[in-house]
Chains A and B, each alone.
Chain A
Amino acid sequence: MSPVKRQRLMLVGFLVLGVSAAAALIFQAFQQNMMFFFSTSEVAEGLAPIDRDFRVGGVVVENSVSRASDSLKVVFDITDLKTPIQVEYTGILPDLFREGQGIVAKGQLNAQGVFVASEVLAKHDENYMPPEVAATLHKPPAAAY
């Protein structure tokens, strides 16, 4: 490789390196804002903002979902498998919402420490399988209860 080309290649390398370093610094500064949601433990530790809307994510706790008989109000617990918090929501839930499903709720904590959600999104996991396979996978733990 001729010296000129080697120099150009080095310049290209420095350019990519410089831009990457700049991007890394920016994301370091905005770390908190890059998170789409807080975990329930972070909310319990008081890391989430109090005066404005934020999102909290977690798994819907088994047997915690209770629906009001006269409205669309739903109350359930979500947890990151360490600390559960109670969520209250009025509205239509997404198709994937059910016990054991990961969800992301947007809203605020009220004075009682209950999370009042204005929006509930279901978080899908990365697993894909036919129903028969899912049935054989999920049976053993269900039988153990």
Chain B
Amino acid sequence: MHPVLKWFYQWAVPHFVYPRIQTGLPWVALLASSLLVIGLVWGLVFAPADYQQGDAFRIIYVHVPAAWLSMLVYMAMTMMAISVLVWRIQVAELALIASAPIGAAFTLMALFTGAIWGKPMWGAWWVWDARLTSELILLFIYLGIFALYHAIEDKRQAAKAASLMTLVGVVNIPIIHYSVIWWNTLHQPPSLSKLDTPSIHPDMLWPLLITLLAFKLMYLWMLMLRLRTELLLRYPQSAWVQAIVQAMVQAQIQPTKDKSKDNAR
């Protein structure tokens, strides 16, 4: 087997993935939270105010990363869905279902911050333009995938159904992205994706790029946390889970033993 392919294949093995999540978790958590603090403090406090919107524009540092991630998480889920449907990879099933609520949370965050900004700037909390409507549909798709998975008793079947729904829903992602270009919308066109002529001043852009990276790492962080739990729940009878549970029980007993020794002295 080709070594690169072999490297990929080992990530489909549950007892290979679990210890690597354990090792990586503190590092990802540290990096994500420090970048988030740096980006948000820079953006919310030190970045200059906008010439039109004043301080109200600062919601961009939460809104844009959340909206970006709402689509990125979905694309990641699409990759997982293909792995599930074509290669029947169980780790991908678990990662898919672990991602759905995270994506839903980012979508809700984008919709909520957008509404807060829309009221003073546009003059309306909500309008039914193509961008806002397609983003709302994305929220319903996320919730639908999650509900479908939990409605089916057999988890292998449930994952297959959820993967199919993910693939059907992926058509919404380009619609969200291009809605502001294809149709007249109240929502403004993208500022970031045309990097050759940036529409956003560098002093404001840097903290935004940092919060974007921080949100991506936050997704990874939450995915690792949720995937870890899903792995333990999916393989309760396997030797490696038994060993982990044994170790946890030992760790619980050990301190009390020490304490009783102290008391005896």
Contacts and interface: CB of A to CB of B under 8 A. Distances in A.
Interface of A: 5, 8-9, 11-12, 15-16, 19-20, 23, 27, 34-39, 57, 93-96, 104, 119-135
Given A95-B121, A130-B204, 15 more contacts: A9-B86, A12-B86, A15-B168, A19-B167, A19-B170, A36-B184, A36-B186, A57-B184, A93-B123, A94-B121, A122-B123, A123-B186, A126-B199, A128-B199, A128-B200
Contacts of A130: 48-51, 201, 203-204
Given A5-B86, A126-B189, A94 B122 contact: yes
B87 A34 contact: no
Interface residues of B, number: 41
A36 B168 contact: no
B157 to A, nearest CB: 16
The 10 closest A-B pairs by CB, nearest first: A94-B123, A134-B51, A130-B48, A36-B129, A129-B201, A126-B191, A128-B200, A131-B51, A8-B86, A126-B199
Interface in B182-196: 182-186, 188-191
A126 B127 CA distance: 18
Contact of B199 (A11, A57, A121, A127): A127
Nearest to B174: A20
Interface stretch (B52-60, B139-147, B210-218, B250-258): B52-60
Contacts of B86: 5, 8-9, 12
Q: Which of B53, B129, B200 has the most CB of A within 10 A?
A: B129
A35 B168 CA distance: 24
Interface string B19-30: 000000000000
A91 to B, nearest CB: 10
A36 B185 CA distance: 5
